[in-house]
A and B are shown apart, each in its own frame.
Chain A
Amino acid sequence: MKITQTPLVLLALGLTPLCILPAQEKEFIGALTRIDSKGKGNAEAVQLWSAIEKLNASSIPDLLQAMNKANDLGDNWIRAAISEILSRNEKKFPQKQVLSFLENQKNSGSSRKLAFEILRENKPALASSLVPNFIDDREPTLRRLAVGELLTSAQASKDTTKSAALFEKVLQKGREVDQIKEASNALEKGGRKVDLQSLMGFLPEWKTIGPFDNTGRQGFGKPYPPEQEIDLDAGYQGKNDKVKWSAFSTSDPFGMLDVNKQYGEVKEVLAYAYTTFDSDSDQVAQFRIGSKNAWKLWVNGKLLFARDEYHRGKTRVDQFVIDGALKKGSNGILVKVCQNEQTQSWTKQWEFCLRITDPTGTVLHSRDTSNK
């Protein structure tokens, strides 16, 4: 804190220092990267925020670098800092450094996207010329822009062969559900059958067991035996009768597992679904689940996330994107999916879909045959 005392004293005396010292800039930026959840670091950032008045556009590369280290909250503080600087120095910004930062894929996706937005607002022609280069970008929001241009070209083309080739490229390069759907729909109109389930990596093959009791929504928090052990040969007491694991698969293009098909349209129940995923390496992964029912997700026995909410909207692909990890070899994936007591027609669904990607949104396929 020592290095910030001088300007604070000056401010207290009503004197405004003309410029910020490098150490003070470092202290200010550092504070933004120390912001954490539940308001931690907020008071320090608020106290130091007046330093922003002394920063100019030359600080933008340092702020972008800091964003690499910041969490989402610090990311937003840094966005505000850059925005305030740019609002004072609209015509003076370090274009070369910002461009270089954008082009370096080692920088975080969020900070690179911001670098792109800075260019787009200040040098729109330059930014526009960069978009096709994002087609293989690791940052999904940048890649989306390039894929979007492919879609636009495909739709505009009157040459059906060329158009189909562009849509095929979208299927290959696209990572976002709406863009993949759009290309797939266009191709299917032309007679091409697209295997979306495989393309998007949905897990179609499961073993399920149920129904267990969920009266009064109490089953969500109750650890039934599948939460203690995975023994696919075991049987347990269910809501009404003894229940056993049985195979269940889906041919739905979006991997929707309609649990009603397995157990009938029953209410105040829950079921477990289990599958394995054979990973070729230890790797970080995103588990992308969609469900309008309450659910819990475990990977290798570790609870990744639980959501106790029923029928607030429809089930959507990638509704919840949860960061986790896969180990090399077989990984056990367990989903608990619950149905509540509501009887309206829009509360019938008892379902979920799940796929696994890497952090860039690229699909991960299991090496085993069942969930390939």
Chain B
Amino acid sequence: MNPVMKTLILFFFLLPFSLFGNWLSFRGDAGNGSIPDKLSPNVGTAGKTSWRIDLPGRGLSSPIVVGNLVFLTASSGPKEETLHIMAFEAKKGKKAWERKFKATGRTVCHEKTCVAAPTMSSDGKLVVAQFSSNDVFCLDLKGNLKWLRGLTYDYPNAANGLGMSSSPVIVGEVVIAQVENDAESFTAGLSLANGSTLWKKERPRGANWTSPAVIGKGGSQQVLLQSMKGLAMIDPKNGKDQWKYEEGASTIPSSTVAGHTILVPSNGLTALKARTDGRSHTQIWRDNKLGPGTGSPTISGDMLYVVNKANVLTCAKIETGEIIWRMRLKGPMSSSPVATREHLFVFNEEGLGQVVEIGLEEGKTVASVDLGETILCTPAVSGGALFVRSDKSLWRLSD
């Protein structure tokens, strides 16, 4: 084929993706909250392409964006036994499709959370949704079911009385579902093709709300599993431990990857680097003043950002942990921030979105948006807009 023609076909094929930009999993494609594109600090409900739609159920899962579709989960019913997986047109908010399933695992949760807590994940062709009931569904972008699993149906003690929230990740042909709790604690590698169990490994018994993180690129990607015991780097193909960091870690905020550096919410914040042998790690630095609250650390350029339990946002160097500046935000805060090179965006539980200019010497709140509903999720970013949800609404916020 003529190279020009080839380029043109490729251009039109990729057009919807390039216009919107994917946000494929919890805290973005890299899972660290960094926004690769530009995003205006003035995003809000009055923007030209902003919209708000009603949702059919509760949820604190974050939206993800694949091409021109926004995907989201929700749960409804007196016992939150109905599980919703939905797709909306990113541009207009029109519902493209919705699929409803029945929870096969336990649906009891703490009042603050709900069954739709984990965020979906996508490889760009398929989407995977996991719920607190440990039901896992894989669908194509048109809503056709590819497979499903009921991991609490399989292992009836795999449950947490407060609810579970780990978001799945997809690495190559494997879906990693973290099902870690006090009673029957495990992580499973499921075939993306048909949902069969490729491997299942026992994990430390203890409630765990963190999500797996992915490190590396292409075929050399590895997965990081965090628990109260610490952190384990595993091979996603077989679940085998590559190395372990065993100095304890938080069970709420998740580890964040910045290039080769792993920021672990452990003893404050601990920076690790996997050694080139792939079988061991080095501790680079540790700072007990950098411990995150509920949200996970966020990356922008060479800097990391954490919001602690007192709602103080701290900027520090990824390489050394040196704290550059601190500022207080309006809390309380459950969600993780997302950040461009210039601005950090974070929502508090009262629905106040705060936009912070992240300068080299200080941080300054430059804009805000009040959604007036409880926001516990981390926003998704695509096509120059923020996507954020409450128990009742999904918003697209643009400038």
Residues of A within 8 A of B (CB): 37-39, 42-43, 45-46, 49, 52, 71-73, 75-77, 79-81, 83-84, 87, 110, 117, 141, 144, 176, 178, 292, 305-310, 312-313, 316, 319
**B110 an interface residue at 8 Å Cβ cutoff?**
yes
B104 proximity list for chain A (CB < 8 A): 72-73, 76
A178 proximity list for chain B (CB < 8 A):
78
Please determine whether A46 and B195 come into contact, CB atoms closer than 8 angstroms. yes
A164 to chain B, nearest CB (A): 24
B154-A76 in contact (CB<8A):
no
Is residue B148 contacting chain A, with contact meaning CB distance below 8 A?
yes
Number of B positions contacting A (CB below 8 A)? 38
Separation of A46 and B145 alpha carbons in the complex (Å): 9
Once bound together, how far apart are the Cα atoms of A188 and B36, in whole Å? 60
CA distance A345 to B144 in the complex (A): 48
- Interface-side segment among B95-103, B298-306, B348-356, B366-374: B95-103
A313 and B148 CA atoms in complex are apart in Å by 29
The secondary structure that dominates the A interface is helix
Say yes or no: B147 contacts A72, CB within 8 Å: no
Q: Which residues of A contact B162 (CB under 8 A)?
A: 312-313
CB-based contact A46/B101 at 8 Å: no
- Cβ of A76 and Cβ of B101 under 8 Å apart? yes
CB-CB nearest in chain B for A290? B108
Contacts of B153 in A (CB 8 A): 37, 71-73
| B 149-165 binary contact with A (CB < 8 Å = 1; else 0) | 11001101101111000
A sample of 13 more A-B contacts (CB under 8 A), given A52-B144, A141-B77, is: A37-B153, A42-B147, A46-B194, A73-B149, A75-B102, A76-B101, A76-B135, A83-B100, A87-B97, A312-B207, A313-B109, A313-B110, A319-B108
Do B194 and A76 have beta carbons less than 8 Å apart? no
Q: Min CB distance, B10 to chain A, in Å?
A: 23
Q: A42-B147, A79-B100, A176-B78 are in contact. Are A312 and B157 (CB under 8 A)?
A: no
Q: CB distance B154 to A46 under 8 Å?
A: no
Q: Which of B99, B135, B146, B182 contacts A309 (CB 8 A)?
A: B182
Asked if A73 contacts B148 (CB within 8 A), the reply is yes
Are the C-beta atoms of B145 and A77 separated by less than 8 Å? yes
Q: How far is the CA of A316 from the CA of B110 in the complex (A)?
A: 11
Q: Which residue of A lies closest to B195 (CB)?
A: A42
| Candidates B108, B154, B194; contact of A38 at CB < 8 Å | B154
Give the distance in Å from the alpha carbon of A312 to the alpha carbon of B208 in the complex.
12
Does residue B324 face the partner (Cβ distance < 8 Å to A)? no
Contacts A84-B143, A305-B156 given: A46-B193 contact, CB under 8 Å? yes
- Distance from A28 Cβ to chain B, minimum over Cβ atoms (Å): 13
Known: A84-B144, A292-B161. A42 touches B194 (CB 8 A): yes
| B184 smallest CB distance to A (angstroms) | 9
| Shortest CB distance B133–A (Å) | 10
Chain B residue contacts of A77, Cβ below 8 A: 145, 148
Please, how many angstroms separate the alpha-carbon atoms of A141 and B107 in the complex? 15
Contacts of A46 in B (CB 8 A): 146-147, 193-195
B148-192 contacts to A, CB under 8 A, are 148-150, 153-154, 156-157, 159-162, 181-183, 190
Offer 21 A-B interface pairs, CB within 8 angstroms, sorted by A: A37-B154, A39-B190, A49-B146, A52-B144, A72-B102, A72-B150, A72-B153, A73-B148, A75-B102, A76-B150, A79-B100, A80-B99, A80-B145, A84-B145, A87-B97, A144-B78, A305-B156, A309-B181, A312-B160, A312-B162, A313-B110
- B196 within 8 A of partner (CB): yes
In the assembled complex, the Cα of A76 lies from the Cα of B109 at a distance in Å of: 22
B147–A38 contact, CB under 8 A? no
Contact A308 B102 (CB under 8 A): no
CB closest residue in chain A, given B144: A84
State whether A79 and B102 are in contact (beta carbons under 8 Å apart), knowing that A84-B143, A309-B183, A312-B161 are contacts in the complex.
yes
CA–CA, A83 and B159, complex, Å: 28
Residues from chain A with a CB closer than 8 A to the CB of B148 are: 73, 76-77, 80
A350, B260: Cα distance in complex, Å? 47
The winner among B144, B161, B193 for most chain A CB atoms within 10 A is: B161
Whole-angstrom CA separation of A71 from B154 in the bound complex: 12
Q: How far is the CA of A313 from the CA of B161 in the complex (A)?
A: 6
3 tightest A-B contacts by CB? A312-B161, A80-B145, A72-B104
Q: Is the CB of A313 within 8 A of B108?
A: yes
Contact status A110-B102, CB under 8 Å: yes
Query: CB of B320 within 8 A of chain A?
Result: no
Distance between Cα atoms of A73 and B157 in the complex (Å): 17
